[in-house]
Structures are given as structure tokens and as C-alpha cells.
Amino acid sequence: MTTADMEIKVLLIEDDIQYSDLLATRLSKGSGQKFILTRVERFEQAHEKLSRESYDVILLDIQLPDTQGGDTLNKIQHFARSIPVVVLTGNDQLAMQAINAGVQDYLVKGQADVRFISRILRYAIERKRNEERLRARTAELEQLNSLMAGRERKLIELKTKINLLKEQIEKSTDLDNPEKEN
């Protein structure tokens, strides 16, 4: 199932009630996508929601009354590691810091129509899924590589033992057959 075919549960963490209302209105109209929006104004409220419910994506204002900037990002990534995060900001520098810290995308406050917001949320979910699949595949390959390296060491040990046995057999054959020396 693609994100376009599913209901998307969004946790909106935004302390500006007017902007939060605007986003809720935009998401409820016109995108063709079904969004189930949960709104909170503080990080502590978000933490409570995240401990009890699952979400497909988080829309996060990183300047909240109870946490700011990088601290907000660190906290959300700690509590919601597997959930894609889209940052809401009016500051391009903060947005790029957020992207570099691992969020999926950002929205500039007040500059996005509903189709754009919908697409960003869907793409963020897909990118996070791809990241998780890549992370899982990388872990599988690392485990397989470790297993192969262990088997290679055992094969080298076995070859060494075989060569030692071969040498011992050759020596004992030489001792048992004195005519061979002449």
C-alpha cells in the first residue's frame, strides 16, 4: 500500500494556535489524501502522545515553549526514532541544521499549499521507510559478512592443520622408508 492510498496519522507539534488551525484546515481540504491530525502545543504533550499512540509522521515546530532548536530535534529523535519528522520553521538556517540532524524535510511556515504539504508528508514517510529498509539490509549484510569472515578464518585454520598433518605424514613416511633417502 502506498502512502497515497492510506490514512496518514500526523502528530502536529506547534505552539502557534492560528498556524496550527491553518495547517489543520489545509490538510483537511483539497489534497485527496486522508489525514488524521493530532495537535499539541508543547513537547511534553507530544512525548505523552508518542508513548501511547503511533503516528505516520510528525510535523514539528522546533521553537516550542518547553524546548528550543537542536534540543527539540534531539528529544524528538530520541522518542520517535522510527517516525519521519518534518520541521516547521521560518528560518532556513535552522531548517538546514534540522535536515543535517536527520529530519526528513521542512516546511517554511505560511508558504505551502495543501498539495505541497501533502506531498512533503507522503515523501517523508516513504523516505523514512526506505531508510529503515536500507538500515535493516545493511545490518543483514554486516551480519553475513561477519559470518563469512568467521568461516574464512576457520577454513584458514583447517588448511593450516591439513598442511601440518601433510608435513607430519611426509616425515613419517620418510622415516618408515629409508630407501627413499638414497
pLDDT band, residue 168 (cuts 50/70/90):
confident
Comparing 57 with 78, the larger pLDDT belongs to 57
Residue 141 in domain: no
**Pairwise CA distance, residues 181 & 14, whole Å:** 92
Q: Is the confidence at residue 158, as pLDDT, over 80?
A: yes
The domain that holds 114 is classified in CATH as 3.40.50.2300
Q: Can you give the pLDDT at residue 112?
A: 66
Residues 26 and 52 in one domain: yes
Residues 79 and 157 in one domain: no
Per the CB < 8 A criterion, the answer to whether 89 and 95 are in contact is yes
Average confidence (pLDDT) over 113-122: 82
Residues 83 and 109 in one domain: yes
Average confidence (pLDDT) over 69-84: 86
Distance of CA 6 to the CA centre of its chain: 21
Residue 144 in domain: no
pLDDT band, residue 31 (cuts 50/70/90):
low
Residues 97 and 70 in one domain: yes
**Pairwise CA distance, residues 178 & 129, whole Å:** 73
Domains in the chain, number: 2
Average confidence (pLDDT) over 142-160: 90
Domain of residue 51 covers 3-135
Instruction: Tell which residue, 174, 14, 32, has the closest CA to residue 24.
Output: 14
Residues 68 and 91 in one domain: yes
Average confidence (pLDDT) over 110-134: 85
Helix (H) or strand (E) holding 26: helix 17-28
